[in-house]
Amino acid sequence: MVFPPLPRLEDYSISPTTGFLPDSPPLPLLTHPYYAPWEAVIASLQALILSRNIRHEIDRLPVLSPDHLSSEPEWRRAYVVLSFLAHSYIWGDTTPSEVLPPALSIPYLAVSAKLEVPPVASYAALCLWNFRPIFRDDLFDSLDNLATLQTFTGALDESWFYLVSIAIEARGAAILPIMLDAISSAREDNLDRVVANLQSFAERLGELTHLLGRMYENCDPHIFYTRIRPYLSGSKNMSEAGLPRGVKYLDGSGNEEFRHYSGGSNAQSSLIQAFDILLGVEHRPTGDRKPASGPSGPSAPAKSHNFIVQMRDYMPGPHRRFLEHLAQVSNIRAFVEEHFSNGALTVAYDACLHMLRGFRDKHIQIVSRYIVLPAKDQRRVATGASAAAPRVKSASSAIRVTPTAAAQLQFQNQKPSLPQPRGIAYAPKHQADLRGTGGTALIPFLKQARDETGEPSIGAWAQRLLTNSGSLPALRDAETVKIQGLAGQWLDSEDVGGICHW
């Protein structure tokens, strides 16, 4: 039997060691003096946003051509700079701007077209091309060796939010050659090698879930929700945030129309979508039920309004084409079905699904803590309701408190005033579902994506655990997490919200 060739990673700008991240660190600066005006504004970005002078400075920029960009890293740096400038212009004042000036629009559209990405702060701009290793000779698959190049706020919380995703990309890179070898081994009917590859896949997925759980270490939910998240928003489905018509990119043609783009979203991660393809996980539009034919039946073509499929349009062109090629050759699910009687194989395959579902479970927990609960806090403030009074130990069990300590305790127990939310962080009380930065109501989406991850499971026991008919106590949505500081109190509701989409 003649098989189509397997994709070669290097043909799609993918590294066997860094995956979808560039194999060399992204450029921290455009050194050509022609682009000094861009770099001057981006260097003072936080101060310009804070003083509300960002639009004034950008309006003074000349219209620069991308003709002096001479390498792929330079094009990527230009895309990162223009993405941060554009979103700062749109969201960097009390009301969002529905127009981008020619000084941004003209080069932004050209650079985006060259890189085959949309002109928006996508996952590529925020994460893939926006990092540097602290120690250049060390691997950058560890959070201990990563820093961001750009942020909107200058806050550690914002850097950490991006860096967790970057570390996941770097640590998950090794899975790609492992699974391509699994596909090749399945073609050769090499059961032992497929099992070994699947076991390695499952173990590494566990490492990625651990990295995702480290989000709590340095990213405070309140700061993320009120200060950072608004800048990540796109222009699609953003009426409540102040952009009912989208954004118009002034290019000098006089024929400009309003554009609608999703903002940065982890659904734009080619790595996570590759995992789904490799394991045969299929996602449906939110609200669609599982077909009656079951997971082993023929697959229907993905609908155009499937959010996960739509997010491929926000990936760099070569990465998008890699996923298309991968889908043509993926055979692991069929191979496991064919060898259903091999216990080691079915257990290894189901373990991968279990770990990938666990990854998505962890993400739902993070969405709940970083979006749902801050949104409820904002609604409570908007309606004038007061927060629950803190519990205090009885006098008989309390230690002696000095007047100074009593004053400090009183100060600590006071509810801090919340900054006025803007854009997507504004949660009007009549709004049923908050929007994720990608422009969709995300908790229903995330839960469905998680449940779909378990649908291809083979063993009867795994099917009970990984589908809605069963439960995983260790991976429940409202898992208790001890958080200190401003993130110290949590509720256990997940009915609205979303950060990003895995």
pLDDT at position 459, please?
A: 58
- Secondary-structure class of domain 18-288+307-358 per CATH: mainly alpha
* Token pair in block for residue 355: 């770990």
pTM comes to 0.80
How far CA 269 is from CA of 10, 44, 169, 309, in Å, comes to 18, 29, 8, 11
Note whether 58 and 205 are within 8 A (CB).
no
Give the whole-angstrom CA distance, residue 276 versus residue 269.
12
Query: Which tokens is 375 given?
Result: 């949104």
CA 65 to chain centre: 31
Does the annotation place 363 within a ligand binding site? Answer: yes
Task: Please tell me whether residue 185 adopts helix, strand or coil conformation.
Answer: helix
Tens place of pLDDT per residue across the chain (502 aa): 789 999 999 999 999 999 999 999 999 999 999 999 999 999 999 999 999 999 999 999 999 999 999 999 999 999 999 999 999 999 999 999 999 999 999 999 999 999 999 999 999 999 999 999 999 888 888 999 999 999 999 999 999 999 999 999 999 999 999 999 999 999 999 999 999 999 999 999 999 999 999 999 999 999 999 999 999 999 998 998 899 999 999 999 999 999 999 999 888 999 999 999 999 988 555 555 666 554 444 444 444 457 788 899 999 999 999 999 999 999 999 999 999 899 999 999 999 999 999 998 898 889 889 988 888 777 666 666 544 444 434 333 333 444 444 444 444 444 444 344 454 444 444 444 554 544 445 665 566 555 555 565 565 555 555 555 444 333 344 333 332 232 222 233 333 333 444 4
Q: Where are the domains of the chain?
A: 18-288+307-358
CA distance 499 to 501: 7
SS3 of 99, please? strand
Measured CA to CA, the distance from residue 298 to residue 338 in angstroms comes to 15
How many helices and strands (H and E) does the chain possess?
20, 5
Beta bridge partners of 132: 147
DSSP string across 227-291: IIGGGG--SSSBTTTTBTT-EEE--SSS---EE------GGG-HHHHHHHHHHT-----TTPPPP
Of 68, 61, 26, 69, the C-alpha closest to 41 is: 61
pLDDT at residue 311, as a whole number: 92
Other CB atoms closer than 10 Å to residue 52's CB: what's the count? Answer: 11
Whole-angstrom CA distances from 417 to 107, 169, 231, 387, 431 are 41, 37, 21, 12, 23
How many angstroms separate the CA atoms of 144 and 162, rounded? 14
CA neighbor of 211 nearest in space, from 161, 157, 167, 269: 167
For 339-472, where are the E strands, in sequence order? none
Residue 381's closest CA among 242, 488, 239, 222? 222
Residue 282 tokens read as: 């299929």
